[in-house]
Amino acid sequence: MKRIPVFVKITFKLYLLLIAIYFAFRAALLLLNLDRVGETTFWEVCQAFIMGVRFDIVTIGFVIAIPTIILTIFSFFGKKSRIFEQIYTWVLTVCFTITFGICAADIPYFDQFFDRFNITAFEWMATGDSVFVFKMIFEEPTYILMMLPVLACGFIFWFFVNRIMKRSNDWESVNYVRYGIATVLLWGLVFIGMRGRLNEKSPIMVGTAYFGNNAMLNQLGLNPNFTLARSWLDSKDPDNQKVRFMSDEVAIKNMQKYLGIENPDEEFPIARARDLFTKGECFRKAQVSTTLRSGRNDGRGESNDYNVIVVIMEGMSYNKTAHGGNTRNLTPFLDSLMSNSLSFNKCYTTGTHTYCGIYSTSVSYPVVFRNHALKRIPVLQYDGLAATLQKNGYQTAYFTTHDKEFDNVAGFLSLNGVEHIVSQADYPVSEVKTTLGVPDDYMFRFAMPIFDEMASNGRPFCATMMTASDHGPFYIPDYFKAKNDDVRYQIAEYADWSLRRFIEMASEKPWFDNTLFVFVADHGAALDTDYSIPLSYFHTPLVFYMPKHLQAVENESVASQMDVFPTVMGILGKSYVNNTFGIDLRKEKRRYAYFMGDDKYGVLDGEWLLINKPSEDQIGLYKYVEKEKKNYISEYPEIAQEMQKYGESAWQVSEYQQDKKKTKFLLHE
């Protein structure tokens, strides 16, 4: 050991220390997610940890590279300096404590999204919502507790680095030949470690960690500092700012075929008249204009002025219901609704965030990767539910439990047909319990006199209600008594109980029988983690409840939350131009549901699930109904290609519609 230069020994010991600390965070992540591992072997777990060392070395290399160069140069002079040692120790302590903080933040992030920490966690910092998010974090005790291991690891790191530096006494023993050879070898190994692999064509990528079919273990090997840095770099790549799966022309032709548009409008390629004419998709402008303005059905059935209330349920995964196989009796009321309504058991959301659910449910457009649809500049107008019913003489409103400005919800909806927004500022201060505002049942109670007033105006109304209780920080009122012990189950029970109270209160109102209630989730929860995209995060109940007018049917066809608007219009019997990606589920059949995570997407039908991560050419085809983890991509490439073409065409056309400002259909000659 005396023949090894001091800077090599110091660097080697630092690597071992840091790998041990990252190992501890990885072990904690595994222990807290044992229920997501499923069937596996001890060797597969070991493989995940071995893979983790590779990603840890990459992370360490990028942080330690410059300090190592400085250490190497300083050791050339062969003199020990306590001042240098202290500066070196504190610089590394500060830098690596930040990485420990990211590892700690990764644990609750992974629990929520079943994805390692990435740039999407910071998107709110550039959009003015940072104060709101920080309040949510600091009101959740478990998030605060995550600071303790960060501080502990930071102290442990400082203690051992300080000790290593103090005990490094052979600075004077410099042999220039040994020094030169050691410098080249050390810097070479650090550089190779930063790349993560020897292949000259590509450094280590996220997909390198995927060594098998176990989605949990595949992700376990990743270091969240690496995924954060990689996602940030990808977000800066111009090629990632807009989806470019294919040309706009090809995508438009594909979508016109998929949507059954035979005679497309020359300016609005996916617009199709619904119930305006007896044949085809022809747009006779004068008749369209007259019909839409009058709200007539044009002889194709009765047009009804039913009220419409859409409840977007926070985090209500289908997997939380008894229909979805849950045995904890979390949602008895929602389950009863699903059995006594027009319900769709295979409905999927378009994204993983609340804004995605609000956007896609309201205007029937898909979300595209990290592009925040509600914060797009300029804010676009769409032919969505509120805007279309407003044209038909409806009063429109939106209810939220908290700040209406968060995610630019108020700005977006106000420009898209919502006349009245009820938010935290309207509730008594005493009823506001957390950053997420009032509990769900209070929002429902508060809405009742508003609905009474709207109903008394002689005009039908359309209201959307966004719940929030099933999202941390959790608050359960004292007057609700849960049956389960775990707060995660208790809050789901409370959310379901709030829905029951809402319908019980509404059923006593004279406007109840004339009101269509729609229940759908903004997104689900990462409960089923068989695949790298947890289907439970997208699988949602979809219920159309109107007992006096709708027959109870449990439909097993594939559906999307984008289909809410066209299906509501079909139930109402209103004539309109459908310039969206949704369909009337009672009259049309959806071939595929498609949805996006932050860096990957899924497309599914009744049998197959396609998962693709375009940035790394990772694609898989699975029989998700049987929860098979075998990748069938090589056996059924034609199925995968068709599914990929369908989803990518939809997202490409969505980008085209927004870029060309064709989201709102305009009458033209």
Burial of 430 (0-12, 13-18, 19+ CB in 10 A): exposed
Supply the pLDDT for residue 278: 43
Fill in the DSSP letter of residue 132: H
Residues 6+ apart with CB under 8 A from 387: 381, 416, 417, 664
Residues 6+ apart with CB under 8 A from 332: 322, 496
Report the interhelical angle of 82-113 vs 6-32 (nearest 10°).
20
pLDDT single digits (tens) 275-299: 654 444 455 554 454 444 444 454 4
Task: Say what percent of the chain tops pLDDT 70.
Answer: 89
Supply the pLDDT for residue 571: 96
- Top-confidence range, 69-73, 300-304, 595-599, 623-627: 623-627
Fill in the DSSP letter of residue 611: E
pTM for the whole structure: 0.78
Q: Is residue 311 very low, low, confident or very high in pLDDT (cuts 50, 70, 90)?
A: very high
Q: Is 43 helix (H, G, I), strand (E, B) or coil?
A: helix
pLDDT at 631 over 70: yes
Supply the pLDDT for residue 585: 97
pLDDT single digits (tens) 501-543: 999 999 999 999 999 999 999 999 988 888 989 999 999 999 9
CA distance 265 to 288: 12
Sign (positive/negative) of CA torsion 193, 197, 200, 206?
A: negative
pLDDT at 196 over 50: yes
Task: Say what percent of the chain tops pLDDT 90.
Answer: 63
Residues 6+ apart with CB under 8 A from 220: 26, 29, 30, 48, 49, 52
pLDDT at 240 over 70: no
pLDDT at 301 over 70: no
Supply the pLDDT for residue 134: 65
pLDDT at 72 over 60: yes
Q: Is residue 368 very low, low, confident or very high in pLDDT (cuts 50, 70, 90)?
A: confident
Q: What is the mean pLDDT of the segment spanning 333-346? A: 97
pLDDT single digits (tens) 393-443: 999 999 999 988 888 888 889 889 999 999 999 999 999 999 899 999 999
For the ranges 371-385, 416-430, 550-564, the lowest mean pLDDT is seen at 371-385
Supply the pLDDT for residue 294: 45
CA distance 378 to 370: 17
Supply the pLDDT for residue 668: 56
Which is more confidently placed, 264 or 203?
264
Supply the pLDDT for residue 614: 82
Average pLDDT over all residues of the chain: 88
- Top-confidence range, 113-127, 317-331, 357-371: 317-331
Supply the pLDDT for residue 2: 57
pLDDT single digits (tens) 463-486: 999 999 999 889 999 999 999 999
Q: What is the mean pLDDT of the segment spanning 183-212? A: 79
Which of 575, 592, 571, 471 shows the shortest CA–CA distance to 518? Answer: 571
Domains of the chain by range and CATH?
A: 6-236 (no CATH), 248-587 (3.40.720.10)
- Return the bridge partners of 542, or none: 344, 520
Cβ–Cβ < 8 Å for 322, 331: yes
pLDDT single digits (tens) 2-23: 577 888 888 999 999 999 999 9
